């Protein structure tokens, strides 16, 4: 199974560097253009679109669905990480307040979903995709934290359920809105 991870289009909260988490923020006009540009430039032959249930991902998936004439399936496991009471705050303010460099470093304080729980949720989602769509070429429209954790945890150094079964391309850092990263899962 090949999964192409696509980060949803830009939202006004992305632009203002606000932590969205599970807040249901729509994509803006720039976000719509980013996804349309992605669709125009991609040369992939997807067979299925899977999306997070959050509005920004669903709207991005709908653009892809129309462009590629494919159905989309909502998979709740790939919703953004819950950041609890911190959702809506500027990321720089959070980093200063908690003396951290990256909001991803936060653990289960202020109703933030723990990395362990977040990882377990994503692994269950991958297992469902693997069992329901083993030979599909999936475009998974999701979120920055989801992509970062999947790439981090599913790398060759990871010793979990997918260890040794995943190859990543290209090399990655922070994935921009409307950009894609590929995972091969045996």
Specify the residue for token string 């892809």: 64
Catalytic residue from among 75, 80, 113, 180: 80
Extract the tokens encoding 73: 């399936």
Say whether 174 sits in a helix, a strand or coil: coil
The answer to whether residues 5 and 181 touch, using CB atoms and an 8 Å cutoff, is yes
Spell 96-132 as b/e; 16+ CB within 10 A means b.
eeeeeeebeebeeeeebbebeebbebbbebbeebbee
Query: Would residue 132 show up in a list of annotated catalytic residues for this protein?
Result: no
Query: Would residue 59 show up in a list of annotated catalytic residues for this protein?
Result: no
The answer to whether residues 109 and 18 touch, using CB atoms and an 8 Å cutoff, is no
Extract the tokens encoding 178: 């409307």
Give the residue numbers annotated as catalytic, written as ranges: 8, 80
């Amino acid at each position: 199974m090949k999964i192409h991870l696509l980060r949803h289009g830009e939202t006004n909260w992305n632009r203002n560097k606000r932590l969205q988490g599970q807040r249901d923020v729509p994509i803006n006009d720039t976000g719509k253009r980013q996804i349309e540009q992605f669709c125009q430039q991609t040369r992939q032959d997807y067979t299925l679109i899977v999306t997070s249930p959050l509005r920004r991902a669903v709207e991005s998936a709908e653009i892809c669905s129309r462009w590629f004439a494919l159905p989309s399936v909502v998979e709740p496991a790939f919703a953004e990480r819950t950041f609890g009471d911190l959702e809506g705050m500027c990321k720089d303010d959070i980093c200063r307040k908690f003396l951290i460099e990256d909001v991803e470093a936060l653990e289960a304080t202020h109703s933030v979903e723990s990395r362990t729980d977040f990882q377990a949720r994503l692994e269950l989602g991958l297992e469902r995709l693997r069992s329901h769509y083993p030979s599909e070429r999936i475009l998974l429209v999701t979120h920055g934290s989801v992509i970062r954790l999947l790439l981090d945890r599913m790398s060759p150094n990871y010793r979990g359920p997918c260890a040794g079964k995943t190859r990543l391309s290209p090399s990655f850092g922070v994935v921009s809105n409307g950009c894609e990263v590929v995972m091969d899962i045996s």
